[in-house]
Structure 1
Amino acid sequence: MAKRPQLTGRAAVLAVVVCAIAMSLAYPVREYIAQRRNVAELKQQQARLLAEIKALDDESRQLRDPAYRKRLARERLFYCEPGQKCYVVMDDTPEQAKGTAEEKQAVAKPPWYETLWESVEAVDAGRGRKAAGS
């Protein structure tokens, strides 16, 4: 008895058709997954923005309250009511008034006259090179 080949013509055609279908579905499936991911990211962004809007609405509502505004003026601007005695302790700064490390570094800049003198020296050094090169 003759041995049948393992791969018949029908099986080969079927394999090619299955591969063609898989190849034709790969791109739409990939786009579908990408769009689903994009929708999920947009929903997260929307939730984040809605929370931010709610916080800003709450802050706006607080700022419309005269008692809150008076308290802010006393705390931040050290305002006093007429006839009231107010004291400011200079060493005891609130946590809000303390700067971050970046702000402290910005304050640690050299004085303006040192910066000016360094720029004059830099220009003078540049002229000396041009004169020597000329």
Structure 2
Amino acid sequence: MAKKKKQVNEDIEKTYSIDFSSLKNGGYSVELILSERLKSAGIKLNSNDKLDQLIVKCSKFKKNPHDFIFPELSLSESIFRALLIRKNSKAAMHQIQSDLSAVWLDHYKLPYKNLSDNVIMRILESNRLFTSA
């Protein structure tokens, strides 16, 4: 019986999201951080855009994520943007990995990006930008 319960727990994959409260507690303006990401993708913003509005604007890249996740970005920044595209809803490591593969391998044809489980997991677990559930 205990063996079966252990297997069920292993099957449930941890999910991750951006830890906005940690950023705010660290003295960062989340709105400014998101505004800068959107500006880098050529999006014009209103100075009074709220966090929810900025997240919705990020999510509009869902159909064309390659317009928001560029090949020159670090893996950590790319994970951050992939979660923004998903409206910062909790995502499993393999889903994030799949999102990045779709951009880098399928669209840009960049085989040199290391998207292994170990690399993605290490970034998600060690970077204070991300929180798990």
Higher helix share: 1
Higher strand share: 2
TM-score by length of 2: 0.25
Higher-Rg structure is: 1
